[in-house]
Amino acid sequence: METGHPSKRLLAAYALGRATEGAELAVSAHLTYCAACRAEVARLEALAGALVETEGPEGEPDLEAALARLDDAETEGAAPAPLRRGPLPAPVAAAVGMNFDEIPWRFRLPGVHEYSFRNEEGESVSLLRVRPGAAIPQHTHEAEELTVVFDGELVDGDRRYGPGDVAFADPSVDHHPRAGGDRPCICLAVLSGGLTFTGRFGRALNLFS
């Protein structure tokens, strides 16, 4: 997919029910904004269902037969997005379990507050509220990070992410994201593994992380 959308691999994992809980929440949030990805997930789910209903000569799912079934079937448009009431998409609001103005934000860095609401099996899921112009110190990742923007703007190098956009980072990425525009950036961060700060001053933070 283009920048700002989940990868095809992640959409397939979501459609097949094989995404981690955090990644599933991130994709669910993105789908409330993106009709194209909702249509792709619907197609993948239909393909998975067709595979279950077809069987090759040795008892394995017959991919060609499944694709033929999809070609013959009437296609339907993507389901409408769930309503977004308030700053958070419906799936995220349900996972957080409280009104946005009740969230107990915790100070993390100057201009950066966090609410962590899921941390298990090596995966942490949290909301971030970043003041305009504030930044996360330069860092890289032990594994993967998914960030979904809900309000404001996230600037990462020469890329800008607005509401509904997904940013992806892995150990090959060494970056210094910040909140752009004139509104706080509200986003969901799903992190597997930890961060390693790499900037000149940020390295000192490794002693406390």
| Residue 79 scores a pLDDT above 70 | no
- pLDDT score, position 81: 63
| pLDDT > 90: percent of the chain | 52
Phi, psi at residue 106, to the nearest 5°?
-120, 135
pLDDT: which is higher, 201 or 129: 129
Cβ–Cβ < 8 Å for 143, 22: no
pLDDT in tens, 129-160: 999 999 988 888 888 899 999 999 999 988 99
Lowest mean pLDDT across 61-70, 165-174, 187-196 = 61-70
- pLDDT score, position 157: 87
Helix, coil or strand: residue 184: coil
pLDDT: which is higher, 116 or 54: 116
CB neighbours (10 Å) of residue 37?
A: 21
The number of angstroms, rounded, from the C-alpha of 148 to the middle of its chain's C-alpha atoms is 5
- pLDDT score, position 204: 46
Residue 74 falls in which region: left (phi positive, over 0), alpha (psi -120 to 50) or beta: beta
Whole-number Å distance between alpha carbons of 82 and 208:
40
pLDDT in tens, 9-64: 999 999 988 999 999 999 999 999 999 999 999 888 887 776 665 555 555 555 45
pLDDT in tens, 88-115: 999 999 999 999 999 999 999 999 999 9
pLDDT in tens, 175-198: 889 999 999 999 999 999 887 888
CB neighbours (10 Å) of residue 150?
A: 24
Whole-number Å distance between alpha carbons of 73 and 156:
42
> To which residue do tokens 């032990």 refer?
142
Whole-number Å distance between alpha carbons of 125 and 147:
10
- pLDDT score, position 106: 97
- Pairs from 10-19 (Cβ < 8 Å, separation ≥ 24): 10/146, 11/37, 11/40, 11/41, 11/44, 12/44, 14/41, 15/41, 15/44, 15/45, 15/48, 16/44, 16/48
